[in-house]
A and B are shown apart, each in its own frame.
Chain A
Amino acid sequence: MSQVRELVRRRAYELLLVVLIAAALVWSANVTSYLSVPQLFDSTRSFVVPGLLALGLLVVVLQGEIDISLASTIGVGTVVLARLSAAGLALPLAFIVVLAVCALLGAINGVLVTVAGLPSLAVTLGTMGAYRGLAYLIGGDTGYSAFDPTYSSLGSQYAGIAPASLVLFLIVAVIVAFLLQRTVFGRQTYAVGSNPIASRVGGVPVNGVKIAAFTLAGLTAALAALVWIGQYGSARADNADGSILFVVTAVVLGGADIAGGRGTVLGTVLSLFLLGTLTNGMNLINVGGPTQTLVLGILLVASIGIPRAARLLLQRRARPA
């Protein structure tokens, strides 16, 4: 019994998300007659691409930084894959190249933030534009869809009843969770996000840890690019443009503190499922794109504001003892 209570206390936020997901499911089941288990599984494909980015972004946010260039990195990833497919390169080799390119783009962000000491919001706002431009330089204005079938297998095939991309997402989530909870890097990530000065005094290589996080985020963008090609069967320089709002919302709604130091993979994954269910439901009843964007924006602000307001209320109640 006390274990249950302890679980509720420590995982209150995650439980809240589970309740919300259930509510969203009931709602979508009521407003539409199409809802079924295969339909739900299928709908997860819509958030695997931003979900992979969210897992990478989570690590960056935990360190007190932000990376809004990730959606542009996907654009670079897809057009590079298109070029390599056109050149007849086998997928494993091509994928290694894309991983390297996206990791490099992430590392550039990291170096600009740490070595040059620039604020990450400004740096990645700049590289968001620069990397998108790079995607156009590599891929031109037109799309490419003559992919070798191996290229699109990850994003289009099923592992049993579940889409392969969903399985990939869950595997990456487990890896990131392991990194954060069980490795030296994870320990240092939370330390840097909580107090960078004390971390430095405590012997944490702050710059190295931050560069590693941005690089890791770049790697998740490479995976997302490969999934993208399978899902859409085509690559164009403007791929995933504008999806960063969804990604940032997922991380913050998942309980990560935008100032760093607090947040979990579980929270991010749950908030992705919640956002996915909501989006799915809205799609089924034909809510338009602009309205969906409005809902996402409101959710982002609310997910930052409401916990803060709750904490203030609690503090005020605790004080006059």
Chain B
Amino acid sequence: MVAREGPEAPATAVRHHGRVGTPLLELVGVTKHYGAVRALTDVSFAIGPGEIHALVGENGAGKSTLVGVITGLVEPTAGTVLLDGEPQTYRNPRAARAAGVVAVYQDPRLFPHLDIAENVFAGIYPRHAPGVINRAEMHKHAAALLARLGVDLDTRAPLSSLSVAEAQFVEIARALATDTRLLILDEPTAALTAEDTERLFRLVRGLREAGTSIIWISHRMEEIRALADTITVLRDGKHVRTAPAVALTEAQMVQLMVGRDVTLTRTAPPAAGGQDVLTVSGLSGKGAFEDISFCVRAGEIVTMAGLLGSGRTEIAETIFGLRKASAGTVSVSGVPVEPRSPRRMQRHGVAFLPENRDREGLITAFSVARNITLPSSRALSRLAVMKPRLEQSMAIDQIERLEIKTAGGNALVSSLSGGNRQKVAIARWLATHPKVLILDEPTHGIDVGTKVHIHELIRQLAHDEGLAVLVISSDLLEVLALSDRVLVLCEGRIAAEFAGDEATQESIMTAAMPQATAVAQ
């Protein structure tokens, strides 16, 4: 165990860059396991002073967990974080901030009802006397900070009146309000216009000149090319390579990000073309996706691949009636259906398995049997009175069919393992005999054994029983193993379409990368 150095260490001490040759931040053997899930395994690399360090990897490669470890949000299972060669164990992000380590996230974590200056100085307000805020001083400093960032904002405006991009600059100003030595930016340009991006680039370069180190997390190759001094690639929670930016080509980077051993193998022959069951045309959702058209045939598995934020989940939710479409139509078996509510879509034979199983997919306080029968309540009742015997037999059928490991139909869902919960979530839809099954990350956070079982189940449902299946997955191996057809989403549009046996990890990743698309064409 590491001695507790703490937040008490002089945070505002004179800026020193450590001994010559000592990196600003060094990670040694950092490991984080959540139960059986290995988020990070033995990650070691160093970040020098005054360096822009790009951190890249697929979704789920462990970037967020690593940022959490560096900023004290996540306690590592093993390993050490060294700042200036001194081991650190921050109890929380506040302690990390006091030591000069600050992260700025994609979704600004600010206070919408406070004004800009109050947000910038939240928690460290300049004071007249204990408990009395010196507002004049606070606004003066906030204005100076914003001017340094090159943004012109009224420090008295409430945060809620700002655009996402402006809020992000406020959050960066907040990071700079303390003496920040390591600034972590997580997908900072996702919401920025080209002009704002350029402004941010200038700022980041300026910070580097002043000796601050930056960790830049991004999926955009162009940005990494333009900014990074050093690049670190993570894959499956493991450190793959840290190299000077000039030593890696874009193709090499993609290869390092995806190139792992294939353990899930493709066994499915492409289905013979059935009839179109789910037809989506010109579907748009404000701010999330635009002009999406595709169809899924009976007996076919179509996957939607793409990066986080590419609009996949939003498309699925819109088709299922959980979100409003701003344009476009959805038809099921040739009948146009306006996706107004999940109930309506369910009646037309559409089923949707949300990504967040415990929050949206299941009622964890209910028994296994009641979860399975909930969407079928109407079919299991006469004159609105439930028929317990029918209910019981439906639950038993599904438990046996999906081999759900449970103490019985009356056991609470909360007592089941993740994989078995997922089976319950699938079972409740199968009991309604759907025509279309939409699965959002069906094996997210599930152990490999159950994963293979769920894959077999999906194939059986499509190829043997003729369901039209639409799968959203960030796991490229899963995409390759399951797909009869792959749609690659990029920034809310379909960027590419591949037949299942033609797709490769590289071709999917290339199409999914916002800037790489432009380069490839």
Contact = CB atoms under 8 A, between A and B. Distances in A.
A159 interface: no
The secondary structure that dominates the A interface is helix
Contacts of A195: 359, 362-365
B198 interface: no
Interface residues of A, number: 22
A200 B322 contact: yes
B354 interface: yes
Contacts, number: 69
Contacts of A187: 370, 374, 377, 386
B360 A183 contact: no
Contacts of B428: 202
Residue among A187, A194, A203, A261 with most chain B CB within 10 A: A203
B361 A204 contact: no
Interface string B336-348: 0000011100100
B366 interface: yes
A183 B374 contact: no
A191 B360 contact: no
Interface of B: 320, 322, 341-343, 346, 352, 354, 359-366, 370, 374-375, 377-378, 381, 384-386, 388, 428, 432
Contacts of B352: 201
A194 B365 CA distance: 7
B386 A184 contact: yes
A183 B384 contact: yes
B68 to A, nearest CB: 23
Contacts of B385: 182-184
Nearest to B377: A184
A7 interface: no
B134 to A, nearest CB: 36
A200 B363 CA distance: 11
B341 A205 contact: yes
Nearest to A262: B365
Given A182-B386, A183-B381, A197-B360, A202 B374 contact: yes
A228 interface: no
A190 interface: yes
Interface in A194-215: 194-195, 197-205
A184 B365 CA distance: 18
A199 B362 CA distance: 8
Contacts of B384: 183-185
B343 A191 contact: no
A63 to B, nearest CB: 13
B366 A190 contact: yes
Interface in A261-277: 261-262
A204 B322 CA distance: 12
Residue among B346, B386, B428 with most chain A CB within 10 A: B386
Contacts of A186: 386
